[in-house]
């Protein structure tokens, strides 16, 4: 198993543990509606969705906010998790459209299938796979969305190329993700911080350059949310005084250590934010 595979294995274990414990990202795991509101989901969008689904959201934004997804289109969600964005997208594309979710974690796929069935949707499917090697045909989707997932990939350039490959000419990408500037190398090498959506984050400039290098155009960042120290404490989670436990939770799971997490959050405050990226595949 190479380094990239070990990273993915660790992340899969962390997120499986988090979903089984009912955790969420970017805030108190018991405060699902609050987390959803912070991430940019409108009241009407989530009003009739179960609290358990909202509480299991690991997102850092709403990749479908202000999107121009139309009925009949096909939407692909990278790292679809428990299915919140799949359900919202399915309502946008309607019965003549199609939504595909790809995730590598068995527990996430199981949760998504249960939530899709509970919502009574027949136009959604989830597939197991890596976002670096999507189980999706060339030029087959109108939209690629993703919510706080690409930062977790150890091979982001492959993800960007895969996005360009699966989009139809003229297709659009709209993702919400964590970006970071000038993080100390020690933090980037911390496995728990990678799962916490922090350690693996690249800069906004590198993210834009990666999308452009894959052949996408009209790359823009219309929205940003710079995290305060208190929000970063929740994202860091309980790292303890020594090395993080091999089974530590990812992305906001667990109560932050009052000492370590606070010091780490203070050190990176103002250097980490969620951003919404938009781009297009040329016609």
Query: How far, in Å, CA of 162 to CA of 146, rounded?
Result: 13
Predicted TM-score (pTM) above 0.75: yes
Whether the per-residue pLDDT at 275 is higher than 50: the answer is yes
Highest mean pLDDT among 30-39, 62-71, 130-139: 130-139
| Cβ neighbours of 221 (radius 10 Å) | 14
Q: Beta 141-147 vs 124-128: how paired, if at all?
A: unpaired
Residue position matching structure tokens 């020594």: 242
Tens of pLDDT, residue by residue over 41-93, are 655 566 566 555 655 556 677 788 767 899 999 999 999 999 999 999 999 99
Tens of pLDDT, residue by residue over 201-216, are 999 999 999 999 999 9
Query: How far, in Å, CA of 278 to CA of 223, rounded?
Result: 10
Tens of pLDDT, residue by residue over 96-128, are 999 999 999 999 999 999 999 999 999 999 999
Query: How far, in Å, CA of 68 to CA of 64, rounded?
Result: 8
Q: Beta 141-147 vs 74-78: how paired, if at all?
A: parallel
pLDDT in the model for residue 25: 45
List the single range of 120-134, 220-234, 268-282 with lowest mean pLDDT.
Answer: 220-234
Query: How far, in Å, CA of 85 to CA of 89, rounded?
Result: 6
pLDDT in the model for residue 51: 54
Q: Which residues pair with 272 in a beta bridge?
A: 180
- If phi > 0 it is left, if psi is from -120 to 50 it is alpha, else beta; for residue 42 that is beta
Alpha helices in 2-144 (DSSP H): 3-20, 32-38, 43-46, 51-55, 84-93, 106-118
Mean pLDDT confidence for 185-199: 81
Q: What's the mean pLDDT when you consider all of the chain? A: 81
pLDDT class of 252 with cuts at 50, 70, 90: very low
Query: How far, in Å, CA of 281 to CA of 216, rounded?
Result: 5
pLDDT in the model for residue 45: 60
Q: What are the extents of the domains in the chain?
A: 3-280
Is pLDDT larger for residue 94 or for residue 30?
Answer: 94
pLDDT in the model for residue 273: 92
Query: How far, in Å, CA of 181 to CA of 171, rounded?
Result: 29
Query: How far, in Å, CA of 69 to CA of 282, rounded?
Result: 18
pLDDT class of 168 with cuts at 50, 70, 90: very high
List the single range of 29-33, 46-50, 58-62, 174-178 with lowest mean pLDDT.
Answer: 29-33
Class (C level, CATH) for 3-280: alpha beta
Q: Is 31 exposed, middle or buried (0-12, 13-18, 19+ CB in 10 A)?
A: middle
The edge-to-edge listing of strands for the beta sheet with 272-280 is 124-128, 98-103, 74-78, 141-147, 167-180, 272-280, 217-226
pLDDT in the model for residue 235: 67
Whether the per-residue pLDDT at 40 is higher than 60: the answer is no
């Amino acid at each position: 198993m190479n380094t990239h595979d070990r990273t993915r294995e660790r992340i899969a274990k962390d997120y499986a543990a988090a979903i089984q414990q009912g955790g969420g990202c970017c805030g108190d795991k018991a405060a699902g509606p609050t987390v959803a509101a912070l991430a940019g989901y409108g009241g009407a969008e989530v009003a009739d969705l179960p609290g358990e689904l909202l509480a299991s959201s690991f997102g850092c934004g709403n990749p479908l906010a202000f999107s121009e997804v139309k009925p009949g289109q096909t939407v692909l969600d990278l790292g679809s998790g428990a299915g919140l964005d799949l359900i919202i997208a399915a309502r946008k594309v309607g019965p003549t459209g199609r939504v595909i979710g790809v995730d590598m974690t068995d527990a996430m796929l199981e949760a998504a299938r249960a939530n899709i069935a509970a919502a009574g949707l027949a136009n959604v499917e989830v597939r197991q796979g890596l976002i670096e090697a999507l189980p999706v045909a060339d030029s087959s989707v109108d939209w690629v969305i993703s919510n706080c997932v690409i930062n977790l990939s150890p091979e982001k350039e492959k993800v960007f190329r895969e996005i360009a490959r699966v989009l139809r000419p003229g297709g659009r990408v709209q993702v919400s993700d964590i970006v970071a500037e000038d993080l100390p190398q020690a933090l980037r090498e911390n496995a728990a911080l990678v799962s916490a959506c922090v350690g693996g984050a690249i800069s906004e400039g590198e993210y834009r350059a990666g999308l452009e290098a894959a052949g996408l155009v009209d790359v823009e960042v219309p929205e940003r949310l710079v995290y305060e120290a208190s929000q970063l404490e929740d994202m860091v989670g309980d790292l303890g005084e020594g090395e993080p436990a091999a089974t530590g939770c990812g992305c906001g799971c667990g109560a932050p250590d009052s000492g370590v997490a606070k010091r780490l959050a203070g050190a990176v405050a103002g250097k980490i934010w969620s951003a919404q990226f938009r781009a297009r595949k040329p016609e």
